[in-house]
């Protein structure tokens, strides 16, 4: 169960008071984002080249809005939302719009990452609820993403539909996917924590 806190975008679990969901806005939060980004998309999924600093700054960093989960001063999970073209997928897939259903307002969801020791916990569920509310408030009716082929079942469960060919490179292949308002509402109504019901631990 989540409770709303004073800040517009902050929630914490009643039984986990130190778990905070917020939009990143502090230098130390961004530094942890760069390091989790490196850990996930360099060391775990070999999408980018290694470097001695062990930090990865996304090429769209200045335009990203990062939705994050913090436990005290430690970053546990994150994702980024961006609604300015060209999207990352525009650069990977020719004529992106030809694959997409009609829409009024679109965003791209990227850089979903959770610390390994906090996966399959409420960190991920909370991030999805945070994303849900953020997209509702910004009135997006279509979301696109590049889903790692290692987690396609998860993304389908979240209401995403695959389209087009795989993008990326060997060892780091991604499936372009989208979620419409209708598929999102169906997923939301079938998921207790998004529907406002008490979720089981």
Per-residue pLDDT tens digits for 104-161? 999 999 999 999 989 888 899 899 989 989 999 999 999 999 999 989 998 998 889 9
Q: What's the pLDDT tens digit per position in 51-65?
A: 999 999 999 999 999
What pLDDT was estimated at residue 121?
Answer: 82
Whole-Å CA distances, 195 to 64, 72, 132: 27, 27, 11
Instruction: Kindly report the average pLDDT of the chain as a whole number.
Output: 86
Q: What's the pLDDT tens digit per position in 158-183?
A: 889 999 999 998 888 999 999 998 88
Ordered domains of the chain (ranges, CATH) = 2-142 (3.40.630.30)
What pLDDT was estimated at residue 119?
Answer: 86
What pLDDT was estimated at residue 16?
Answer: 53
Residue percentage of the chain with pLDDT more than 90: 67
pLDDT at 193 over 80: no
Alpha-carbon distance 197 to 201, whole Å?
13
Task: Name the pTM for this structure.
Answer: 0.85
Q: Which residues contact residue 74 at a Cβ distance below 8 angstroms, ignoring those fewer than 6 apart? A: 32
Alpha-carbon distance 198 to 190, whole Å?
13
Alpha-carbon distance 146 to 167, whole Å?
8
């Amino acid at each position: 169960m989540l409770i709303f806190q004073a800040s517009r975008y902050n929630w914490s679990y009643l039984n986990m008071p130190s778990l905070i969901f917020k939009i990143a806005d502090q230098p130390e939060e961004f530094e942890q984002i760069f390091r989790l980004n490196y850990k996930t998309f360099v060391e775990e999924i070999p999408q980018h080249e290694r470097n001695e600093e062990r930090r990865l700054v996304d090429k769209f960093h200045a335009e990203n809005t990062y939705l994050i989960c913090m436990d005290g001063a430690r970053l546990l999970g994150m994702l980024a939302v961006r609604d300015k073209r060209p999207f990352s997928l525009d650069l990977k897939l020719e004529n992106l719009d030809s694959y997409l259903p009609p829409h009024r307002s679109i965003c791209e969801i990227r850089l979903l990452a959770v610390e390994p020791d906090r996966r399959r916990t409420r960190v991920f569920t909370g991030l999805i609820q945070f994303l849900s509310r953020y997209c509702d408030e910004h009135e997006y009716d279509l979301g696109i993403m590049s889903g790692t082929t290692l987690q396609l079942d998860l993304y389908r469960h979240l209401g995403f539909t695959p389209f087009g060919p795989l993008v990326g490179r060997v060892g780091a292949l991604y499936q372009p996917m989208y979620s419409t308002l209708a598929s999102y509402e169906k997923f939301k109504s079938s998921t207790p924590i998004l529907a406002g019901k008490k979720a089981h631990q």
